[in-house]
Structure 1
Amino acid sequence: MTKHLDRTEIGLLVALPLLICIAFVLPKWIVNYVHVSMGTGLVALGVMIQMRAGLVSFGQGLYFCVGGYAAGMTGKFLGVTDFFVLLSAGIAAALCLSFVLGFLLRRYREIFYAMLSLAISMILFGLLSSTEELGSTDGFNLPTASYFGWSPTGETARLTLYTLTCFIAIGCAIALNRFLKSRVGYVNEAIRENELRVEYLGTSAHNAVHLTYVVAAVVSAIGGVLWALPLGHVDPEMTNWTTSGQFVFVSILSGTGNIAAPLIGTFLLEIIRVYAVELSPNTWQLILGSVMLFTIIFLPKGLWSLITSKQKSSKKIGASAPKPGE
């Protein structure tokens, strides 16, 4: 892995204090959307790193739900409220489940990978919807988080959870950026281009896909915990196909060119949804679909391609500019 911070990681570190500061400047409803978007943005990141290997997961809501439910069940049945214990429970549950399922999914590619991941996610949706102990289709509430015995209330509790979410989200983004620049990350890109050639070179494509699947699952579970705690509720819709489709939507909308793209794209999606519902309560899905359609047609590499295209054009202008004395 790279030892020095690259431009993306520096940008993320610069964004961290800005994210924390907006909690004291912007209206509370915007801050709430930023807070929730960081949780779902991590799930979109899980989808993105799989797309780098040419794999599209239509069932990433599975681990989004596993993380939220593991944290909720730890609080509901064990009476634990500590934030770090709840987060650890979500990570452990996703890690164990993805490690086992990875042996199955690593064998499939393209539409078979997408449909199998979706099928497994819908199995969990059916189980949770029929389990009365977990609230069935209504789900159940999570406890208010505490921190090593400290139990803040009111605005202090909200700001504490928001600040921790900022640190964890940025930390996960930097870690995933390092992952994409590691040996496994480059192998994933090679798998997307020509898996057979990767095998001929003596590298196991199955192992690389398996590891990527586990990493994506853990990050998605963290997102599930960070999403569920501020809302204080979990329900089976977290693993429904519509939820998983939104994560794929964000990844396509934002693009896979940079690790920060899905985090920004998730917030943009939330804002578009808010105003779409306000403008057209009965047909707001049509507005989202239109945005998706125009993005695919005019920006097939996602919104991040606007930034990269500007950077390339500025480099060309700089290279073509006459040097002093010429």
Structure 2
Amino acid sequence: MNSNFRALLPPFIALALISIVPLVSPSLRPLLLVAMSISLCAIGLLILLRAGQVSFGHALYFAIGAYVVAFASRKGGLDLWVLLGLALICSVVVGALLGTILVRYRGIFYGMLNLAFSMLGYTIFLRAYDYTGGSDGLRVVSPPILGFSLGAYEFGWGLYYCAVALLALVFWVVHRYLHSPMGAALGAVKTNEVRLEYLGVSAYRVMFVAHVSAAGLAGLGGGLVAFSTGHVTPDLAYWSLSAEFVFVAVLGGTANVVGALIGAVSFELIRGYASAYAGNAWQLILGAVLVFVVLFAPQGLWGAVQRILPLRAKEKQL
């Protein structure tokens, strides 16, 4: 069996299951849609983690994608895929502009500078009331999908399966990227950046591409969550949301892109049911889950699944 096929099989099996679940339990559809949105940002962080870097500020690009969708949807007539494309482009542009500065730093400095820019963006979204609605936020108008104007119920289902299709495309693209020379160089940035430079490969360029890629994925996730909730607020850029993305990436594991999806779904399920049955203790429960995973499943939930099921036989890590 082709190694690329083996590596992509788990993510596509997960997507197939996610496609079926709402048909059996429609009440889970909104939760799974938000989970897919979050998983896009977690996949971006997975790319950065391959280089040994953690960003605590990628909620900024998540919020940019959401606000771009909110602004552009008011123009009317623009298709959902066009709006998602605009969210991607704008988040990539901002990521590239900030990346020229940020990727010069490593470790805690990279993480904290991302956090600082994210909080700056949060303040701008909060204070620019005439444009962003301030703390009240903006309403998102449901756009046509592939030229078809749908009612609220039909739009919800259409959006869900558009998200599944988008995630499938992202899985494939990220797989190709991580197995390209540029993706392979990410590991060298983590282990021996000096040797990478001696080999004639620019660590700055490798990190720049990784940072911009992660920003674009976060923007796509923000666009999806804006359509899902129908409303955007400055809280989408707040530091705590960036921390949630890191939580999801660690929870799911970084060995395969499917870990981001598993982590996001697990996170949303735990948060949803814990907040329903344990009230304000849901954060304590999430923290306990993370401690348990770090201690007993250091490779994340996907790593635990691989140990339980014989899925890893001679499989290259994605």
- TM-score (structure 2 length as normaliser): 0.93
Deviation sequence 1:204-225 (CA, Å, 0-9, x none): 0000000011111111111111
Distance 2:313 2:229 in 1: 45
- Name the counterpart of 1:322: none
When structure 1 is superposed on structure 2, of 9-18 and 79-88 the one drifting more is 9-18
| Cα distance change of structure 1 residues 96 and 315 upon mapping to structure 2, 3 Å threshold | closer
Give, in angstroms, the shift of residue 155 of structure 1: 2.5
Distance 1:129 1:256 in 2: 34
Distance 1:269 1:24 in 2: 21
Is residue 2:88 matched to residue 1:91? yes
Q: What secondary structure sits across from 1:303 in the alignment?
A: helix
Q: Percent identity?
A: 35
Give, in angstroms, the shift of residue 89 of structure 1: 1.3
Q: 5 Å matches for 1:1-326?
A: 5-26=4-25, 28-76=26-74, 78-133=75-130, 134-310=132-308
Distance 1:73 1:40 in 2: 21
Deviation sequence 1:13-53 (CA, Å, 0-9, x none): 34444432333222x22121111110111011111110110
The one-letter amino acid of 1:25's match is V
Distance 2:181 2:276 in 1: 46
Give the conservation status (yes or no) of the 8 Å contact 1:8–1:260.
no
Aligned residue pair count: 312
- Name the counterpart of 1:324: none
Give the conservation status (yes or no) of the 8 Å contact 1:95–1:217.
yes
Give the conservation status (yes or no) of the 8 Å contact 2:53–2:110.
yes
Distance 2:20 2:274 in 1: 28
Deviation sequence 1:261-281 (CA, Å, 0-9, x none): 011110100111112212321
Structure 1: segments with no counterpart, 5+ residues: 317-326
* RMSD after superposition: 1.9
| Cα distance change of structure 1 residues 111 and 138 upon mapping to structure 2, 3 Å threshold | same
Q: What secondary structure sits across from 1:24 in the alignment?
A: helix
Distance 2:202 2:68 in 1: 32
- Name the counterpart of 1:320: none
- TM-score (structure 1 length as normaliser): 0.90
- Name the counterpart of 1:323: none
Deviation sequence 1:98-149 (CA, Å, 0-9, x none): 1111110110000000000000000000011111121101211100121243
| Cα distance change of structure 1 residues 296 and 10 upon mapping to structure 2, 3 Å threshold | closer
The one-letter amino acid of 2:192's match is N
Distance 1:184 1:5 in 2: 17
Give the conservation status (yes or no) of the 8 Å contact 1:12–1:174.
no
Give the conservation status (yes or no) of the 8 Å contact 1:63–1:217.
yes
Higher CA-based Rg: 1
Give the conservation status (yes or no) of the 8 Å contact 1:75–1:81.
yes
Give, in angstroms, the shift of residue 91 of structure 1: 1.1
Structure 2: segments with no counterpart, 5+ residues: none
| Cα distance change of structure 1 residues 69 and 80 upon mapping to structure 2, 3 Å threshold | farther
Distance 1:283 1:22 in 2: 28
| Cα distance change of structure 1 residues 315 and 132 upon mapping to structure 2, 3 Å threshold | closer
Give, in angstroms, the shift of residue 5 of structure 1: 3.7
Distance 1:98 1:188 in 2: 18
| Cα distance change of structure 1 residues 294 and 15 upon mapping to structure 2, 3 Å threshold | closer
Give the conservation status (yes or no) of the 8 Å contact 1:66–1:94.
yes
